[in-house]
Amino acid sequence: MHILVLNVGSSSLKAAIIDPLNGQRMISLTAERLLDDPVAEFSDGSQVELKRTGHENALKSCLLALKDKLGDTEISGVGHRVVHGGEAFDRPVLLTDKVAMLIGEQSRLAPLHNPVNLRGIEIARELFPDHNHYAVFDTAFHQSMPRRAKTYALPKELMDKYGIRRYGFHGMSHQYVSRKAAEYLKDDLRNLRVISCHLGNGCSVAAIEFGRSVETSMGMTPLEGLVMGTRSGDLDPGIPTYLHDQAGLSLEEIDHLLNRQSGLAGLSGVGNDLRTILEAASNGNADCQLAVQVFTHRLRKYIGAYAAIMGGVDAIVFTGGIGENSKVIRHRAAQRLNFLGAIINEDANSILQLSEDQPVAEFSMRHSRVRLLAVKTDEQLAIARDCSKMIAKADEVNQLPQIPVAISARHIHLTRETLDTLYGEGHELKVRKWLSQPGQFAAEETVTVVGPRNQIERVRILGPLRSKDQVEISRTDEFFLGIDAPVRESGKVENTPGCKLIGPAGSVDIEDGVICAWRHIHMTPEDALRFGVQDRDVVEVSVGGAERSLTFGNVLIRVSEKYALEMHIDTDEGNAAEIQPGDTGVLMNTGSTGHLVKRKLSVVR
Ligand code: AMP
């Protein structure tokens, strides 16, 4: 299979024809300075004749030349990189007219990028009318960020009206390198907490907890966060006003300053290429020395912050032109992280060389609990793979069984030891009601859960007993109790808060175990086969039939012989979605027909 991958920028075009299985390029094309002095070259050394007749003509000429190069090679689809998916897209989609319109609507959030992406899409659809086109978004991977990470502290109405929130970028790269890292570590990404540092001309860090992005340093636009080639990154928001008042700069000038004249270029005074800056810094140039210090100081600050957000980290990944190639920056960023359990191996870092044959290399000591890795990113391949997945799924639509939906009220699972303390030595739970999951029951017994703010009485114990205590509450309960509990799958209680439990025979302070249950579907291995999913996949489910249809994103699949098919949501979600007895859900097709465009939901966390 071959996929044509296109990345159309305001002054450049990158294109490649890629085999998504092995990442091999049949041919690739890079065109630059499309507006003024266009040059375009294929990977075989041949060039495209381009005249100075504007962006659109240059794009057309490049794509026509590419079409020529294709000869008899069949392509299976065209993948377009789109910078901003806004609220509308949380995954890649088939490009329909409606999808193109929605991409256009996101232009207000990315006025420099989305309109040119869209122009590229239009031209490519004209030139390759018989192929399916797909849009893959820079922002989509970060849609899983919790609201607390997405939200700026601005007036709510204003943010709602103008779509102001943190979206994050470089999603394809963060997702690709975190998967590569998990492969290298021979572990499942869903068991790992990864901090991924994409350091190129644009730079961003992402906290990827058990496979999902939970924080990233770029915000509503790609200007926030790390120091970049020409972008300032984080800044006191008072500075633009100050510059306007004191230096008389217009909004346009300030925008230009922060995006094009700041960052490494602004600090160093010798341009944005880190190689030049490092060279000058070693030769004593004080501005360049400071530029390197500011760059890595900010990076280390984010690494520490993201470890705190995830309650620890298992691997820190460096990628992008700088992350892959600069031992100096990796050294500076990874030093003195021993307190986190990350111990750099300076020798390994210094000889590290990534290549096609060795796309991942480790530079932590053997006794380092946190693994330090450099990983070669490949965003074009990530796009090609997303497209091939959509092509493979194109026929599997909705002939699937309905999934019963149940509301899971607050409850608690206990260990033998805790039950002994709360109810007396050797107490046996009495079955009040058998639950739909085989062997599970709601017990007669209840406990009082005590938080720093309030307590909730008569929280039902579910049997049978388990090897860990676990208290599952809703967001509303959390705020009532005054506990900040993370959203977790059942059983994953590391780094979660504890609480006090009171029973008739005594009380226990549990150190951890309070979670907000991640909405999930229980199913058997046979169900999983029918749905084409695996244990711990994350899917989207439409609930409530045609009239009251609501889509729940971010639903976790749990597969076991012991389960019966059922989706569990918590009381808050059930109330918000007005779930009624007998309601069922349908597993949505995961990414081929364009109807995945996410509806605005009142129920999504
Ligand atoms: P990217 O945007 O990922 O292509 O990264 C481009 C940036 O990577 C360039 O601006 C350089 O500053 C940086 N870079 C590439 N190679 C090296 C290297 N060997 N040492 C330091 N920086 C490098």
CA separation for the pair 558, 390 (Å, rounded): 23
Query: Terminal CA-to-CA distance of the chain, rounded, Å?
Result: 38
CA separation for the pair 15, 28 (Å, rounded): 6
Q: What pLDDT score was predicted for residue 575?
A: 81
**Could you tell me the distance, in angstroms and rounded to a whole number, from the CA of residue 274 to the centre of ligand 1?**
6
pLDDT digits (tens, 9 = 90+) for 437-489: 889 999 999 999 999 999 999 999 999 999 999 999 999 999 999 999 999 88
Q: Please, are residues 221 and 340 in contact by the beta-carbon 8 Å criterion?
A: no
State whether the beta carbon of 200 lies less than 6 angstroms from ligand 1: yes
Tell which atom from ligand 1 comes closest to the C-alpha of 198: 3
Q: What pLDDT score was predicted for residue 546?
A: 54
**Could you tell me the distance, in angstroms and rounded to a whole number, from the CA of residue 198 to the centre of ligand 1?**
11
State whether the beta carbon of 341 lies less than 6 angstroms from ligand 1: no
Q: Please, are residues 174 and 206 in contact by the beta-carbon 8 Å criterion?
A: yes
Confidence (pTM):
0.85
Classify each residue of 303-334 as buried b or exposed e, where b means 16 or more C-beta atoms within 10 Å of its C-beta.
beebbebbeebbbbbbbbbbbbbbbbbbebbb
Virtual torsion, Cα 50, 56, 60, 62, nearest 10 deg: 50
Q: Which of the residue ranges 78-82, 498-502, 531-535 would you say has the lowest mean pLDDT?
A: 531-535
Q: Give residue 305's identity as a one-letter amino acid code.
A: A
Q: Cis ω on the peptide bond leading into residue 438 (within 30° of 0)? A: no
Q: Give residue 198's identity as a one-letter amino acid code.
A: H
Ligand 1 pocket test: which of 204, 227, 267, 275 has the largest number of ligand atoms within 8 Å of its C-beta? 275
State yes or no: is 138 an active-site residue.
Answer: yes
Top-confidence residue, 281 or 10: 281
State whether the beta carbon of 107 lies less than 6 angstroms from ligand 1: no
Classify each residue of 424-433 as buried b or exposed e, where b means 16 or more C-beta atoms within 10 Å of its C-beta.
eeebebeeee
| 549 backbone dihedrals φ, ψ, rounded to 5° | -60, 130
Question: What is the DSSP secondary structure assignment for residue 535, as one 8-state letter?
Answer: T
- Category of 91 on φ-ψ map: left (φ > 0), alpha (ψ -120 to 50) or beta: beta
Q: What pLDDT score was predicted for residue 605?
A: 24
| 404 backbone dihedrals φ, ψ, rounded to 5° | -60, 140
Q: Which of the residue ranges 35-39, 112-116, 480-484, 517-521 would you say has the lowest mean pLDDT?
A: 35-39
- Residues paired with residue 81 on neighbouring β-strands, in sequence order: 136
Nearest to 374 by CA among 591, 251, 196: 196
CA separation for the pair 510, 521 (Å, rounded): 28
CB neighbour list of residue 247: distance below 8 Å, 6 or more residues apart: none
Domains and CATH numbers, the chain: 3-137 (3.30.420.40), 171-383 (3.30.420.40), 407-516 (no CATH), 519-604 (no CATH)
State whether the beta carbon of 322 lies less than 6 angstroms from ligand 1: yes
pLDDT digits (tens, 9 = 90+) for 256-311: 999 999 999 999 999 999 999 999 999 999 999 999 999 999 999 999 999 999 99
What is the three-state SS of 171-195? HHHHHHHHHHHHHHCCCCHHHCEEE
Nearest to 114 by CA among 84, 87, 94: 84
Q: Please, are residues 39 and 47 in contact by the beta-carbon 8 Å criterion?
A: yes
pLDDT digits (tens, 9 = 90+) for 375-407: 999 999 999 999 999 988 765 544 567 888 888
